[in-house]
Structure 1
């Protein structure tokens, strides 16, 4: 925990110094207030008559200092929250960057909902800890120390008793605190599973409805929810032991102090004002320990969250880049006896790809065909090294992709999928991915290039117009994805069935945009519709992870014995049947 505080609070040392100054000043003023109260009480009970002028001065000073304490506390709270949220945002950014650096094997182990819970839920728990720890814990520790010192100044016997009470209370709290760490960690894990379950079911909602599996998944949801509720309740009961123990100990502490104060006053060892002072300082003992007690519960949550975050940060990608650079311009693509399996412990015969070999010259387009599950998407993932081939080599521009730095490799590539992800942000930010170096003019040019000029003219603020969720048709979203690629100007483009969700009018725009996009670039088009690959230079047909056929598109179309020609014939017959119907 201290290591995390040092890493993320270290760069904010001047703000932390200001926070410390505010806390020290506020604590000093707070400790002075009971002294004024003692003078006021002792002067007010004088038998010969109180000095009204002195009482008025003491009252005014007391009010001024009390207001000063409140101002110092408000300032410390503001600075502490600012420091805490700044540090937390850095942690959130680091965690997100680390997750994005992991290879796909790690992402397959966890659902997107679980990852969101790790980044949002766990880090939010830490943000509460960061933003309040310095003010409440550090401030409470200062006030507690100051109050104990003041007890020693008044009477060493009371000071010794209060010191012993404080040590016993803090040690008891620390011992009890450990009871809540593991249950809280289990609660956070159950929460992540619940979010992951909901995210997966929402994604596959149409399939669940079509299969009539609503009841089955509802029962699974109730079991997952019940597990989360049970763990949350158990975790809360464990954490509540801390404040229950605190209430018991302070009931004993107040009885002991008041008994001592009454005894000392009865013997004439202290004045009535001093008795009031001792009571005030006891409340200053109770308040910081109460704050520490509350923070210990937050510390339990933060400790569990930090442990889960640390588990993620400890993960290391098994995919590492080399040092070779890719040549400029379009890149030739080659697969040399490539085999791949998602589970290395499985036999090679059960892999997704088996001894795949082909060559795509630089600047040409490959149409990738095959049934669902034939390995088309997996093949493209090997090019960008989302996975590494189990055996064989994948080459770009004659260079093994394993020898190229990952950032350089992925910068030279672009992937357009059927499912386009859009942000709650402006059109510009959706296309540039929040890159400030990309100008508005470049974004506008990309939109014009894909045929969205008329759509752009209707936007009230141009490319700065916010893009609300659900405001685009599937076709417009697909064209925006094309505009993203235009901005990046990659050497290799992978299109995963880009026209499957488009209406005929928008598909015409896509076809024109695709022609401009693929010109002078190496491209792979994964397609189920043969029209999509009608302008491809070469065709590769996969079946059960093996190359069934590969060659120039026109040559395969003319060969009546080829798989591609058979697909064309079957497609034409299907269209004729549709017309007859």
Structure 2
């Protein structure tokens, strides 16, 4: 786990290494200062030697300045190292998520990934800064103080040697019992983030149905569960303080008794006794810091495990080293294709065979849940088949570089997504170097140019998050234009015109037929009128292909298709308006 995390340190290695060196220097000087203070008392103040006081006093002043400088430098470098490490870690996780297949993304809930990118990494950042500063300072202070205590009085030094294991056993018990609870806390954070995300994304539905109260109750319950688990964990961690106070008080009592006995026996001087008290405070303070470190590491270990899980998840879909970088045409072939989603016990597609020539217009229709979207998702290799082969341009899709394949296959979904920015910026996802002339051309083909021109800022009109300031039909047409800008060999429209009226949809089909004759066009729809002129229509039923034919052939030979067409004709073609 540590090896995976430390890969994200990269350019902050210097700060990571130099900070502990400054810390060790600072603690070494700090632990030597009480030794000099004892010398001032015993060799300068008590005998009345002013020169000794001045000489040692100047040395103390210089050492204090050096210690302060080392401490400030350690703080500065550790802050830079921790912030940079967290920045790189966020970048690495986000970059890793971009390589995931849909199957990988199905494994991680969106809310969980958000928690890992925010709360978990913040915990790791805090722990990292603590590790390269406080976690170095505490043991070094402990070690140096015990060594100096032995130099002052070996009998007092053994006292501290016996105290440390007692506290260590207590700390181990605290960490062992609190760690599982902190893991539960972060699972509850995932749940809370999911509630918030769903509420904000569906806020219009929530208000329409007047479910604000129910949503508040759901949020309150999630927040309550976090508080309960976190409070239970903190109650265990809270044992740290009374344990520490007990050890400190006991040690002080024993040290006072032992010091008085040694002073009476003339084997310990007053200045040395004062320095022993200082060392005892340093030792016990170091142990307290170690307790705090263990508590934080208990929290951070759970976060680290969740972050490493993402970093070590290998993408299920990768390109071969000698991958193809060009598709010859837009022909599509399915050869005995079977597919099932991970964790499912049944096939979504079973022994599918299909041939679509390049440039063909193909309609795909069927009842809800008949794997229409699953079928077309295999073409750009959003999922890999369980068995069989999917070919594009005569080659297995697994032979292509992923970027090549997905540049040649443009897919427009029913649930359209636009990103914050201008219309121009959204369209250029299809081609970053597209000119305004090219943008206007694809807008015209998608029947979106008129409404874009009617906007006060035209192509520079700002799109709000997810495109909420434009209608559903307008979003669909903009995403179609964005896909066309890729100049693909295959265009897949998955209910991508469901929010447009029938006249606009007809004009889009006419534009495709006129301007994109060599592009293979696959249209998933529930409206027969949308695919009535298709070269072939595929009827999906129960995870397979029930029938293939033209509109006329299916009317004559397929009862389900005939009944659907007749029902839609009676309803006026199922027309949907914006």
* Same topology, TM > 0.5: yes
In structure 1, the residue matched to 2:334 is 335
Residues 560 and 566 in structure 1, CA contact (< 8 A), matched pair in contact too: no
Q: For 2:363, which of 351, 362, 367 is the aligned residue? A: 367
In structure 2, the residue matched to 1:245 is 243
Displacement of 1:194 after TM fit? Answer: 3.7
Whether 2:390 is the aligned partner of 1:394: answer yes
CA distances 1:389-411 after superposition (whole Å, capped 9, x unpaired):
44543221122334445554344
Displacement of 1:178 after TM fit? Answer: 1.8
Unaligned runs of 5+ in 1: none
Residues 383 and 401 in structure 1, CA contact (< 8 A), matched pair in contact too: yes
Residues 368 and 539 in structure 1, CA contact (< 8 A), matched pair in contact too: yes
In structure 1, the residue matched to 2:283 is 285
Q: Where do residues 464-543 of structure 1 align in structure 2 (5 Å cutoff)? A: 472-474=469-471, 477-478=475-476, 480-482=478-480, 484-486=482-484, 488-501=486-499, 518=516, 520-529=518-527, 532-533=530-531, 536-543=534-541
Look up the SS of the partner of 2:571 in the other structure: helix
Whether 2:566 is the aligned partner of 1:574: answer no
Residues 194 and 224 in structure 1, CA contact (< 8 A), matched pair in contact too: yes
Look up the SS of the partner of 2:239 in the other structure: helix
Residues 111 and 193 in structure 2, CA contact (< 8 A), matched pair in contact too: yes
In structure 2, the residue matched to 1:256 is 254
Query: How has the CA–CA distance of structure 1 residues 210 and 407 changed in structure 2, closer, same or farther, with 3 Å as cutoff?
Result: same
**How far apart, in 2, do the equivalents of 1:174 and 1:280 lie?**
26
Displacement of 1:315 after TM fit? Answer: 4.6
In structure 2, the residue matched to 1:22 is 22
Query: How has the CA–CA distance of structure 1 residues 286 and 108 changed in structure 2, closer, same or farther, with 3 Å as cutoff?
Result: same
Q: For 1:162, which of 160, 163, 167 is the aligned residue? A: 160
Query: How has the CA–CA distance of structure 1 residues 318 and 557 changed in structure 2, closer, same or farther, with 3 Å as cutoff?
Result: closer
CA distances 1:316-338 after superposition (whole Å, capped 9, x unpaired):
55556555526534320122343
Q: For 2:134, which of 133, 136, 139 is the aligned residue? A: 136
Residues 337 and 386 in structure 2, CA contact (< 8 A), matched pair in contact too: yes
Residues 38 and 274 in structure 1, CA contact (< 8 A), matched pair in contact too: yes
Query: How has the CA–CA distance of structure 1 residues 352 and 536 changed in structure 2, closer, same or farther, with 3 Å as cutoff?
Result: same
Displacement of 1:366 after TM fit? Answer: 2.2
**How far apart, in 2, do the equivalents of 1:512 and 1:294 lie?**
70
Displacement of 1:532 after TM fit? Answer: 4.9
**How far apart, in 1, do the equivalents of 2:2 and 2:474 lie?**
50
Whether 2:3 is the aligned partner of 1:3: answer yes
Displacement of 1:155 after TM fit? Answer: 2.1
Displacement of 1:379 after TM fit? Answer: 1.1
In structure 1, the residue matched to 2:115 is 117
**How far apart, in 2, do the equivalents of 1:18 and 1:393 lie?**
55
Residues 439 and 485 in structure 2, CA contact (< 8 A), matched pair in contact too: no
**How far apart, in 1, do the equivalents of 2:260 and 2:424 lie?**
74
Query: How has the CA–CA distance of structure 1 residues 577 and 319 changed in structure 2, closer, same or farther, with 3 Å as cutoff?
Result: closer
> Normalised by the size of structure 2, how large is the TM-score?
0.80
Query: How has the CA–CA distance of structure 1 residues 168 and 7 changed in structure 2, closer, same or farther, with 3 Å as cutoff?
Result: farther
C-alpha RMSD over aligned residues? 4.4
Unaligned runs of 5+ in 2: 444-448
**How far apart, in 1, do the equivalents of 2:458 and 2:163 lie?**
69
In structure 1, the residue matched to 2:405 is 409
**How far apart, in 1, do the equivalents of 2:148 and 2:514 lie?**
80
Query: How has the CA–CA distance of structure 1 residues 473 and 563 changed in structure 2, closer, same or farther, with 3 Å as cutoff?
Result: same
**How far apart, in 2, do the equivalents of 1:293 and 1:376 lie?**
57
Displacement of 1:343 after TM fit? Answer: 6.5
Displacement of 1:297 after TM fit? Answer: 0.8
Look up the SS of the partner of 2:497 in the other structure: coil
> Normalised by the size of structure 1, how large is the TM-score?
0.80
In structure 1, the residue matched to 2:379 is 383
Displacement of 1:147 after TM fit? Answer: 1.8
Query: How has the CA–CA distance of structure 1 residues 362 and 504 changed in structure 2, closer, same or farther, with 3 Å as cutoff?
Result: closer
Q: Where do residues 299-314 of structure 1 align in structure 2 (5 Å cutoff)? A: 299-313=297-311
Look up the SS of the partner of 1:500 in the other structure: coil
Look up the SS of the partner of 1:383 in the other structure: coil
**How far apart, in 2, do the equivalents of 1:127 and 1:517 lie?**
54
Residues 183 and 238 in structure 1, CA contact (< 8 A), matched pair in contact too: no
Query: How has the CA–CA distance of structure 1 residues 134 and 324 changed in structure 2, closer, same or farther, with 3 Å as cutoff?
Result: closer
Query: How has the CA–CA distance of structure 1 residues 364 and 456 changed in structure 2, closer, same or farther, with 3 Å as cutoff?
Result: farther
Look up the SS of the partner of 1:575 in the other structure: coil
Residues 556 and 562 in structure 1, CA contact (< 8 A), matched pair in contact too: no
Displacement of 1:140 after TM fit? Answer: 2.2
Q: Where do residues 261-272 of structure 1 align in structure 2 (5 Å cutoff)? A: 261-272=259-270
Displacement of 1:69 after TM fit? Answer: 3.3
In structure 2, the residue matched to 1:275 is 273
Query: How has the CA–CA distance of structure 1 residues 298 and 488 changed in structure 2, closer, same or farther, with 3 Å as cutoff?
Result: farther
Displacement of 1:146 after TM fit? Answer: 1.9
